[in-house]
Chains A and B, each alone.
Chain A
Amino acid sequence: MDINSPEFKNFIKLSAVLTGYSQFHLQGTGQAALYFDTVKKIIGQNIFGELLETFQELDSKAQNDESILIDGLRSKILSSEKFGPIARNIIKLWYISTWYQLPKEWRDTFGTEEKDETFIPSPAAYPEGLLWPTIGVNPPGAKGQGYATWSESPSVSLAKS
């Protein structure tokens, strides 16, 4: 996977708009390439490419005006029968490190991919979920803080937003 490909860059940009986290933070989780591959494999290159192109168009139209971009995202992606469920799945993937099987209606209309099951893409994904910095705690059972630090405040800083 080429992280310098325009497709990957678009995916990160789209993910940043969808999650509210910066591209730096998303790349910093170390899961970006894995999630890119995961989504692409499950929904197929065609729909994945269409989704990213749609986002790319919205992004260039918005010309760095965030409110225009977000309006476009709502009407052309989140409200779209085809892209909405995928976009919501991408949000869940980043926040709780889980790919959820797409809704039945989606599968009936756009095809049932074999790999479209509910699963966690990698053991390393769980501690990197955006859920944890969002609520300001360490992922339970992962990311050790060192002996006796449980008597201190959590070391995770609440996400800036």
Chain B
Amino acid sequence: MTTDNGYNLITTVEELHYYLKQAMKLEHATIPPYITALYSIQPGTNLEGFHIIRQVAVEEMLHLTLVANVFNAVGGKFVEQKDGKVQTVLTAPDFIPPYPTYLPTGSVDFQVGLGKFSPATIETFIKIERAEEVDEGKPLVVSRPVQEHCHFLTIHNGQPSDTFYSIGLFYAEIIRGLNALYKEMGNALFCGDPQRQITPEYYYNGGGDIVPVTDLRSAIRAIRVIQEQGEGSRVGAIYDAERELGHYYRFEQLKQGRYYIVNRDDPEQSDRPHQPTGESFTVDWDAVYPIKENAKLSDYPVGTEVYEAAKDFQSAYSKFLKDIEYAFDGHPEELIPAVGGMFRLKEQASYLMRNPIPENKDGLNAAPIFRLD
């Protein structure tokens, strides 16, 4: 497939695998920023903000799982011997980006970091979930100047500066690739063992329905759920295919201090973008722990409880990714206990954020660390 710019995008199964790995990286990359902001909210306050961010974070977990299903369906391998080395996906050394980071789609006009619940943080979240519609056949890639080294998604035959404006466009490219490869290969494209799929019995009430992927139709459906939950069904509407508010607009509610109304019976009658008419609420930006931004283990004095707890969190998070990867890699029944581990992570993260960093001259609190052990 060639765009107007003459770029060859996804043309081989190997390239498709590469894109899907990037997609998992991307879906995961948003989770640490969302849960950091989420748990920085003081208990019992900002209930609106808490629920809005929590729901989006849960849906990102769903998206990660949906991409894993597509990846398994097209014969992707989570653990692979390559050049005499074991290569993994979720436990690969570069799977967790070093925050602050550019998103793997390569948008260079904003960075994503790990910070407390604040107007600036919500502004970034809105940017993460922004949308743009591009007609079929138009290039999905926009050339942008590169100012510094960032973790780009490399586009085959493209310039290093060519990046996707939004996450939705990145997925649009994956759908194009699926269609093109299917034309060429037919059902042989979906050579993955269906036993490896995460089906609803292993994924319970986590931000929408899981789609087992076995053919082109289900693959596209899975990707569309991701695209639409993020941005809404199309530009100019606030709701997605399930008639629920898109992530972009959910976050925007926090900026406006007002809920959007989605008319589920007659979606056309829903609120217009940027003009919510629902109930208003007060966001208490001060009822938040003053956590250290983009915390590293070296920010904490060795030997203190904060240091030990941060180290424990880092190990627990690494183990969580390992458990999820194992479940995706042909052990779907292991997903249930792995997801249960998230609740323990929440406790550990919250405990850190509620504790001042010993001897910190700015009076900052600790924060969880998202690094592989």
The chain A residues found within 8 Å of chain B, CB to CB, are: 3-4, 22-25, 27-32, 122-124, 128, 143-149, 152, 155
Please state if B306 and A155 are interface contacts (CB–CB under 8 Å): no
Q: How many residues of B contact A (CB 8 A)?
A: 24
Please state if A124 and B43 are interface contacts (CB–CB under 8 Å): yes
State which of A32, A128, A148 has its C-beta within 8 Å of the C-beta of B204: A148
Please state if B351 and A24 are interface contacts (CB–CB under 8 Å): yes
Please state if B342 and A146 are interface contacts (CB–CB under 8 Å): yes
Please state if B343 and A143 are interface contacts (CB–CB under 8 Å): yes
Residues of B within 8 Å of A31, CB to CB, are 43
Contacts known (A24-B309, A28-B350, A30-B43); A147 close to B204, Cβ less than 8 A: yes
Counting CB contacts under 8 A, is B337 at the interface? yes
Contacts known (A27-B354, A30-B42); A146 close to B343, Cβ less than 8 A: yes
Counting CB contacts under 8 A, is B363 at the interface? yes
**Dominant SS at the B interface?**
helix
Residues of A within 8 Å of B6, CB to CB, are none
Contacts known (A24-B355, A27-B356, A123-B44); A146 close to B350, Cβ less than 8 A: no
Please state if A25 and B337 are interface contacts (CB–CB under 8 Å): no
Residues of B within 8 Å of A146, CB to CB, are 204, 336, 339-340, 342-343
Residues of A within 8 Å of B336, CB to CB, are 146-149
Counting CB contacts under 8 A, is B269 at the interface? no
Please state if A152 and B44 are interface contacts (CB–CB under 8 Å): no
Counting CB contacts under 8 A, is B305 at the interface? yes
Residues of B within 8 Å of A24, CB to CB, are 305-306, 309, 351, 355
In the complex, what distance in Å separates the CA atom of A149 from the CA atom of B355? 29
- How far in angstroms is the closest Cβ of chain B from A63? 20
- How far in angstroms is the closest Cβ of chain B from A124? 4
Contacts known (A24-B306, A147-B205, A148-B204); A30 close to B354, Cβ less than 8 A: yes
- How far in angstroms is the closest Cβ of chain B from A160? 11
Instruction: List 6 interface pairs A-B (beta carbons < 8 Å), by A numbering.
Output: A3-B356, A4-B356, A22-B305, A28-B352, A145-B340, A147-B205
Counting CB contacts under 8 A, is B344 at the interface? yes
